[in-house]
A and B are shown apart, each in its own frame.
Chain A
Amino acid sequence: MVAIKQQFEVPAKLKTWSLALTAIGALAIIIGFVHWGLSPDQHQKDIFWGTVMYNSIFFMLITNASMFFICATTLAMGGWQTAFRRVPEAISTVVPIFGLIAFSVLIYITWGMGSSTHIYQWLNKAQLEKDGNAEVLKKLGFLNPYFFFIWTTLAIGLWSLLGYRMRKLSREADEASLKGEEPGRSFILRNTISAAVFIVWFALTVGSTIPWLWMMSIDANWYSTMYSWYTFASSFVSGMSLIALWVIYLKNKGYLEYTNEEHLHDLGKFMFAFSIFWTYLWFSQYMLIWYGNIPEETVYFKHRVQGPYKGIFFLNIIINFVCPILILMKRSAKRNYTLVTFMAVLIIFGHWIDFYQMVMGSIRKESASLSWLDFGTAAFFVGMMIYIVANSLSKKPLVPKYHPFLKESLIYNT
């Protein structure tokens, strides 16, 4: 009988590196702010704020995907993920913090810059009237700073709150009092209820309204009913990759003794399957707009496929579809720590690029250039994410020892 390493100790090196990454990122953001953000040219300002915006949204959504994963597997009565479920829990602790950042950025754009920004043209009513943009003027019942503020607050607030509730419930699985059938049953039931509430709210926000409000409304005239589900698929597959990365990191450091390549295999399957799912949604949206060929709709793809974003547009498909399908198809690949690590990094990068073109492709139509500001901002969020997740991991035992499904997870076989 071997005791397991339950307490994660944050290696000093990880702390230093994550803080250094955050600092470099912060420096990049500050220089970017001075360079673009203080520029008298509004377009330059928009580029700066757009960059910070898509990064904060992206990193918040992919960390929130961890909580979605926990809730979805809880509702499906899944047992296999129990051995490592503390990892997605720790990742989801980032949501309130990144949520606050995203919230500040979004509110600054809608309230601080207000009608002067061109990111959201719907903020400038006078200009819309001048342009005779009757369509957008009629949408102002939905696209207005007040509703934006309320809905954004509610969305981020409830994701954080409901996520917190799930994590708090999970603490019970560390106590021996959960042993036995009755406490276990009640524990699962309470988990199921909390998870259901989260999922419902998730469907009403990430699955529908939030991507319309935050991102699709940048092209205020354009619309696509698929947009939110597409955004969800993009963030979910990156979220799964992020979980895989942390699981592998902890395995490498000698933790998570109960997690093995069987679990990795299933994480790999999720990465593989949802990469294909993302492609499916991508294709459906693109093909239908291409086929219908209505100018109001093709306007979104015009400069992305034929203009300056051409390279990024096709890179997006190569990274997010061709690579996963070719590399992760084989069973042995999904069980190989190095390959899964490589693919996870690639997928997260790929969907980051996707978010870049979704947001910046609409703000900065004239040219596409992934600059040091994009990478710097990403570094800021990545560094911070590493720091916070590592910290959260060290706060709780790594294995929920009395979780009713833990033993199923241990003998899990794919």
Chain B
Amino acid sequence: MSKKKFVVAAFDDEDVLFPAVKKVRTSGYKIHDVYTPFAVHGLDHALGLRETSLHTAGFIYGITGTTTALSCISWILTADWPMNFGGKPHFALPAWIPITFELTVLFAAVGMVLTFCYLCQLAPFVKKHHFHARATDDLFVMVIECTAKTNVDDLMGFLSSTGALEVNVQVAEPEWWLGTYDKEQQLIKGSHVEVA
């Protein structure tokens, strides 16, 4: 992975952020991402992100759980080792519903969380470049990727005019790597090997 150059603008109010996002997008700049301290309702639409289909994945995992439970139990109790429990038929469906339900939920939940972590690259020891330490506190941080044609000064001026509190330029690695947060982050140059 290689480093890229970004212009970073930090806002302190989502009411300022929204018009800014709109202006930046209509001016033709490509917003790399916006980092926010909480889920800002509607920001994904403002950025033109497509809807997530995570819930569809959840549905599929759930169905898998249902099928697993029903097929395993019915095979075990009717084919592999049929036994008489309290005079009930071997195919005692009502008694299997609880476990079937639990496995449906278990599969769906575990599957979804793992998928979520995979998609967002979240795991212990994962480290990513943090454009602004206060993005998890009280700032909304808009990051714009610079291309060869981008005039950085113009862009910075433009962002200030939209109401950004702070504007700066960062050259950073946009992907994740393994590391811990007690080591210094490298912001400007070099490879993504941390310096102690």
Contacts and interface: CB of A to CB of B under 8 A. Distances in A.
A–B: direct contact at CB < 8 Å: yes
15 contacts: A283-B94, A283-B97, A286-B94, A287-B94, A287-B95, A287-B97, A290-B94, A291-B86, A291-B88, A291-B94, A291-B95, A293-B86, A293-B87, A329-B59, A413-B41
A283 B97 CA distance: 9
Interface residues of A, number: 8
Contacts of B97: 283, 287
Interface string B75-97: 00000000000111000001101
Interface of B: 41, 59, 86-88, 94-95, 97
A327 to B, nearest CB: 14
Interface of A: 283, 286-287, 290-291, 293, 329, 413
8 cross-chain pairs, A with B, having the tightest CB-CB distances, nearest first = A287-B94, A290-B94, A283-B97, A291-B95, A286-B94, A287-B97, A291-B94, A293-B87
A413 B41 CA distance: 10
A290 B94 CA distance: 8
Nearest to B55: A331
Contacts of A329: 59
A414 B94 CA distance: 35
Contacts of A290: 94
Nearest to B59: A329
B51 to A, nearest CB: 10
Contacts of B86: 291, 293
A174 B41 CA distance: 33
A274 B88 CA distance: 31
A291 B89 CA distance: 11
Contacts of A413: 41
Given A286-B94, A287-B97, A329-B59, 7 more contacts: A283-B94, A287-B94, A287-B95, A290-B94, A291-B95, A293-B87, A413-B41
A293 B86 CA distance: 9
Contacts of B95: 287, 291
A111 B46 CA distance: 69
